[in-house]
A = this chain, B = another copy of it.
Amino acid sequence: MVGGGPGAFIGAVHRIALNMDGDFDLVAGAFSSSPDKSAQTGEELSLDPVRIYGSWTEMAEVESALPEDQRIQAVSIVTPNHVHHGPAVEFLNRGFHVICDKPLTVNGELAREMLAVARASGRVFALTHNYTGYPMIREARELVRSGKIGKVLKVYAEYLQGWLVDPLEETGQKQADWRTDPARSGPGGALGDIGTHAFNLLEHVSGHKVSRIYADRRSFVPTRQVDDDTMAFIELENGATGTLCASQVCAGRENGLRLRIYGTEGGIEWDQEHPNDLHVCWKDKPSELRRTANGYLCEAAQSLGRTPAGHPEGYLEGFANIYRAFARALRGEPDLEDAYPTAADGLRGVQFIETVIESAEKKAWLEMPA
């Protein structure tokens, strides 16, 4: 693992997710840019001291020098956004599989390079757009892509949080600190942190690419250096339209990622805060509540569950599903299309960020790359 030192949120999440199914053991790490902090975290995790590294460059060098059956198999990158590109490229080039937090990186140029390196390396590269790991997202995807809800006309994606309504970064809070610093988070604030999740989910479920965007982007906290609110009109390649809103200043909202897609025959509605419920509405029939782990779900949705119907699956399980698919890819299993997000998905997310920023600046509808 690269990153995930003291005070990190997403590093702890990755560790639980990789532990959950027994597919991985965490054996080495460069947990912080501070060697002391890295050592502290490594000790807390009871790692062998010789495999707790002071930097990811050291880790890459030493691990690749170990005999093949003793070195790490894969690396999990959970650093702030600006430290994704460096270790990803380094470890891929040295022959390690990589699983990396989102967004892929901080600009399109670096993203394209990462995609190229990943492809050239022949190694597995997975990006933790973890919300695609929920069983009911797979069910929604099947309902939409199979045409059961008809031709998609309208798409509403939103991701509303409230935790940055005050200038929390000025208190030194670690999560707020790097996320609002463009040098570390990249040019997008709420846009990159949560907007990319909404964007990824929307394309993942709808099966249609976003083709055009008109966006508005603001900082409601005056001293903030990145956006804390983004609104976008979107047009899909099939002609559907909709809105995508990402905000971190909706006081009282926890982690409100919601997706609604309506077609000519019906629609799907999903709320991450109750992720085992998928509401499906129909033009001429009663609406349905589909729930995780029932026999009536599509195979993809059923395959992601760990518990029987009525035993709620949560955020960590969704996350662990990405790790499980990554493990399957490492074992060379076939038919893993869309089982985990890839560098190409990551590039697309970075392009989304860049298009939104440009649209908001130019006040114009802009084309997304195809």
Contacts and interface: CB of A to CB of B under 8 A. Distances in A.
A281 B242 CA distance: 26
Interface residues of A, number: 85
B15 A154 contact: no
A42 interface: no
Contacts of A154: 160, 229, 247, 249-250
B251 A281 contact: yes
Contacts of A288: 286-289
Contacts of A365: 363
Contacts of A364: 363
B307 A315 contact: yes
A214 B232 CA distance: 11
A-side interface mostly: loop
Interface in A245-271: 245, 247, 249-256, 262-267
A20 B16 contact: yes
A233 B314 CA distance: 33
A300 interface: no
Given A267-B252, A365-B363, A294 B283 contact: no
A215 B253 CA distance: 26
A370 to B, nearest CB: 21
A272 B312 contact: yes
Contacts of A296: 284-286
Contacts of A282: 251-252
A21 B20 CA distance: 8
A314 B292 CA distance: 12
A291 B254 contact: yes
B310 A273 contact: yes
Contacts of A275: 312
A159 to B, nearest CB: 10
A4 to B, nearest CB: 13
B289 A287 contact: yes
Nearest to A15: B22
A22, A158, A162, A276: most-surrounded residue (chain B CB, <10 A):
A162
B233 A165 contact: no
Contacts of A253: 262, 267, 281, 310
A21 to B, nearest CB: 7
Nearest to A9: B308
A273 B291 CA distance: 10
24 contacts: A9-B308, A13-B306, A20-B20, A150-B251, A153-B249, A154-B160, A156-B158, A162-B262, A231-B243, A233-B233, A251-B262, A251-B282, A252-B281, A254-B308, A275-B312, A284-B296, A289-B289, A311-B314, A312-B312, A312-B314, A313-B316, A314-B315, A363-B364, A363-B365
Interface of A: 9, 12-13, 15-16, 19-22, 26, 45-46, 149-150, 153-154, 156, 158, 160-162, 165-166, 214, 216, 218, 220, 229, 231, 233, 241-243, 245, 247, 249-256, 262-267, 272-276, 279-291, 294-296, 306-317, 363-365
Closest CB pairs A-B (n = 5): A255-B310, A252-B281, A254-B310, A314-B314, A311-B315
Given A153-B229, A165-B283, 20 more contacts: A15-B22, A16-B21, A20-B316, A22-B45, A149-B251, A154-B160, A154-B249, A156-B158, A160-B262, A162-B281, A162-B283, A249-B262, A251-B281, A252-B262, A284-B295, A286-B288, A287-B291, A288-B288, A307-B316, A312-B314
